[in-house]
Amino acid sequence: MIESKSSHIREIGQQIQVNVPAQGASVDMGVVYPDNADAYIGPAIIGKVKGTNTDYSMENKRFVNALLESNIVTGNLVVCGTEKHLIIASRKQLIEGVEASILAHSLVCNATISVTREELEYDEYGNVSGSATVTVLDALPCYAAQVNDRMRQTDAGLLQSTVMKVYGSFVSGLINGDKATVLNRSYRVEDINDSEFPGVMILQLAVWTG
């Protein structure tokens, strides 16, 4: 049964590349996904998560069934063709008590997020001489969801000012008040949740008024 599961994935699976965020990735590193020479490449079965025809929240959700050797965990970015999948859940599939494959859920990335910050500059005497715009995160693949009435009814954690939620691989060093750019629009980072899914950050963004 276990071998047949692996054979099934190899036979009908699509080729994927699993990109792992840099250990302790931070904005200071500049690159969340470093040289991908060691990235895993292999087969996986990817399909839509079943839901009702009116369940719009399921549109961008996928299941991923991969070989154990892929070592897929939450926070990984799985590339399949032109699609990028952010892994938000992952577990080992057991057959007769033995690990046979990895079952994961993902969000299909529909945008990228870049983040900048204004930092003060000082002269040799310690006086403020001006400010500079610093890029702290550049074009991170993400899943962006515009906040609507339905989300406000079901998500008690939404802030009143939030107009967009963004899911991406966790990067340390972002702070509230940073300027985020998503789909060519500017937003202010209002909240950073890094505890709901290990390795994933969920950002609440408000309209940028600076």
What is the model's pLDDT at position 201?
A: 95
Q: What is the CATH number of domain 2-108?
A: 2.40.10
Domain boundaries, the chain: 2-108, 111-207
Do 2-108 and 111-207 agree at the fold level?
yes
Beta bridge partners of 94: 99
Contact 101, 5 (CB under 8 A): yes
Q: What is the distance between the alpha carbons of residues 209 and 63, in angstroms, rounded to a whole number?
A: 38
Q: What angle do CA 156, 162, 167 make, to 5 degrees?
A: 85
> Residue-wise pLDDT tens for the chain (210 aa)?
667 888 999 999 999 999 876 544 444 433 455 555 568 899 999 998 876 444 445 678 999 999 999 999 999 999 999 999 999 999 999 988 889 999 999 999 999 999 999 888 888 888 888 788 888 888 899 999 999 998 888 888 999 999 999 999 998 889 999 999 999 999 999 999 999 999 999 999 999 997
Q: What is the distance between the alpha carbons of residues 102 and 93, in angstroms, rounded to a whole number?
A: 6
What is the model's pLDDT at position 31?
A: 44
What is the model's pLDDT at position 11?
A: 93
φ, ψ (nearest 5 deg) of residue 206: -115, 165
What is the model's pLDDT at position 37?
A: 57
CATH fold of 111-207 reads Thrombin, subunit H (2.40.10)
